[in-house]
Structure 1
Amino acid sequence: MTLTPSAGPRPLTVGICTRDRRASLLRCLRSLRHAEAFIDRVLVADDGSDPPVEAWVHEALGADAPPGLTTLRVETSIGPTAGRNRISAAARTPYILYLDDDAAVLSEAAVRDALAVLDGDPAVAAIAFAQADAEGRLYPPGAQPSAATVPSLVNTFIGFAHMVRREALVAAGGYREMLGIMGEERELTFRLLDAGLHVVYLPGAPMAHLSDPAGRDARKFLFQTVRNDALSGLLNEPLPVALGMLGPRLLRYFPMRRGWGGEDPGGFRRIVRGVADALPRVRAERRPVRWSTLRTWYALKVSPPYHGPGAAP
């Protein structure tokens, strides 16, 4: 199925979470010219930037401003997952294209192909895009949602650029805000799978990811990756699996730190304390998936080809 621009309602909201990355945000917004035919509005979640985004972005873009550019501002940072939930609450279209502020759309074709899958198959809740450089050259397979070279069913996506069915996202409860960032994609996929929905990876639909170092901290990355992996299991997995995997997941900290090669005094204690501090909220929000969902999630590690609507995975 090929989706073409029409004079009817535009099906897509673009949602961008940003904080103090002015040059990257402008590049991202200018890249949306490739998808203008599909865009209803562009919602920028300003996560406490200094100065506020709205104060300068319209002046900087001028005639290059994308359709319906709107800023959703918070004074104190709430993180990307909460920002995405604010965007989904404000969106009025069936689909949302989420972009990191250091991502960029490379072609209309990538957006059109993703919309065609979602429009044609109600069992697909999200589209994973391939990571590429500014020229569209794909990064290595290890930097992709999957090593697959054809459209495939996958068990996670990469948050830098993904498209979601808004109704499915809201029904699943949105992004898990306690995670903040790192691992929120895998955690959401668990809940979508439990609702009978899938994520499709389109390796032929690249989006640029031009990593901006602003706001990146290796210690914070390590903390959030290990803590969130543990929390995701406790939130979603059947109890024997969640408890059995808790120790191994926490101990991943040590090989990850060695691979990084940096110093992180007291880092493991902070992670353990972070998990312990989150337990009351975990108990309140825990909704274990079915055993069959867990089996499906593991089976999708091999990324079976996606054959279209109604095809069994």
Structure 2
Amino acid sequence: MNSISLCISTYNRVDDLTRLISSALMQVPKVPIIVYDDASSDATAEIVRTQFPTVSVIAGKNNVGLIAARNICIREASTPFVIILDDDAFFTSPKTVQQTLDDFSSERIGAVAVPFTENGVLMQGETAGPSIGLARSFIGAAHAVRRDAVLACGGLRESYGFYCEESDLAIRFLAAGLVVRHGSADPVTHCPNADRKPLLRRQLRWRSEFRFKYCHTPALLLLPVLGSHLALLVFRCSQFGGLAATLKLGYSTWRDVIKSRHERKGVGFRTYFLWRRLSESPRLTLGDIDDVPAVRRALEGSDSFAVQ
């Protein structure tokens, strides 16, 4: 019985997708593959079904976006673990999926930041020797999750739209006693689209970071944290399209966050400060957490939800 599935969400990139599937079919042992076609107009679903009959294809009728598409794939999977790659990534080693499965070596591990290269630079490839090195979050282009833990917390939060949904899941994991670890597998390759629209991406990232801070910052720290984030936006308005565009971005972000204010559930102080510590050097390991009583209590408690 398989223990891990590969899930791919795709939209109008059938050439990239077929490259990824071809590389995935070379994995040893074989891995079930689930593709969610997010209402592509390039006949993606038909092409995949014809060329790769063993791949499970879900053809969406409406474009729901990347985060919602990943949630659909995770729910569709029947394995305890799921590895997720962007459709413009591909495997370069037949061992990566099995190595990633092996990285879930503790029940404490909720997600694995799978190593990948992008423009020749290794991402998420930090190691702590024989120890399990912890990461604060992971990059969505290549990661793996414990499926039941994702479902227990309600899945990826789709209101983000783009950016920070990974951090949102990671901090909810942390509040439930689960951690994200750096992967040790052979890296995959990620070839992002050349048209990255840097201004739009900066705006989307700021918007998502504001939402993340609103959702998870403890109540006593909320006003200064949000205030500093807004101040940074105004101070760097030239990076966000000028003052008028900056003010519009700030207003629309606040309006959207207020509309979804029911999502706010600030984590406890112990989880919050542990979250901040995970971004610092030297990197924490799972052994460090087990050795520090205060940190261990933070992980054994549950500030947001309980994973059954």
Give the TM-score of the pair, scaled to structure 1.
0.82
TM superposition score normalised by structure 2: 0.83
- Contact in 2 for aligned 1:106/1:207 (Cα 8 Å): yes
2:31 is matched with which residue?
39
CA contact (8 A) 1:234 1:243 kept: no
Question: Do the aligned partners of 2:113 and 2:182 also contact (CA within 8 Å) in 1?
Answer: yes
Aligned residue identity for 1:18: T
Number of equivalenced pairs: 289
Which of 209, 213, 226 aligns to 1:246? It is: 226
Is 1:268 the counterpart of 2:246? The answer is yes
Shift of 1:112: 1.7
- Identity across the alignment (%): 24
What is the alpha-carbon distance in structure 1 between the residues aligned to residue 172 and residue 141 of structure 2? 20
1:6 corresponds to which residue? none
Q: Which runs of 5+ in 1 are unaligned?
A: 1-8
8 Å CA contact 2:14, 2:42 repeated in 1: no
Q: Does 1:56 align with 2:44?
A: no
Does the 8 Å CA contact 2:139/2:166 hold for their aligned counterparts? yes
1:91 and 1:148 mapped to 2: Cα distance? 29
Aligned to 1:232: 212
Cα distance in 1 for partners of 2:99, 2:235 equals: 39
Q: Which runs of 5+ in 2 are unaligned?
A: 296-308
- Rounded Cα–Cα distance in structure 2 between residues aligned with 1:28 and 1:254: 41
Alignment of 1:114-153 (within 5 A): 114-118=100-104, 120-133=105-118, 139=121, 144-145=123-124, 148=127, 150=129, 151-153=132-134
CA gap 1:271/1:71 in 2 versus in 1, 3 angstroms: farther
Q: CA 1:265–1:45 in 2, change beyond 3 Å: closer, same or farther?
A: farther
Pick from 73, 79, 86: which aligns with 1:87?
73
Q: Is the 8 A contact 1:10 1:93 kept in 2?
A: yes
Aligned 8 A contact 2:124 2:183 in 1? no
Deviates more, 1:286-295 or 1:297-306: 297-306
Q: Give 2:57's aligned residue.
A: 71
Post-superposition offset of 1:213: 3.1
**Cα deviation, residue 256, structure 1:** 6.7
Letter in 2 for 1:20: N
**Residue range with higher mean Cα deviation, 76-85 or 188-197:** 76-85
Match of 1:287 among 260, 265, 268: 265
SS of corresponding position for 1:231? helix
Q: Structure 1: how far apart are the matches of 2:5 and 2:236?
A: 36
Query: Alpha-carbon deviation of 1:305?
Result: 3.3
Once the two structures are TM-superposed, the CA of residue 19 in structure 1 deviates from its matched residue by 1.1
Task: After TM superposition, give the deviation of residue 202 of structure 1 in Å.
Answer: 2.0
Matches within 5 A, 1:158-237: 158-203=139-184, 205-213=186-194, 216-237=196-217
Note the alpha carbon deviations across 1:150-202, whole angstroms, 9 max, x for none. Answer: 44101010110100000011112211100012111111111000000000102
1:221-279 Cα offsets, whole Å, 9 max, x none, are 122100000000111121232321113223444677756xx856843133213322323
The answer to whether 1:277 aligns with 2:255 is yes
For 1:201, the aligned partner's letter is H
CA contact (8 A) 2:25 2:31 kept: no
CA distance in 1, matches of 2:243, 2:42: 33
Q: 1:305 to 1:77 in 2, by over 3 A?
A: same
RMSD of aligned residue pairs (Cα, Å) = 2.7
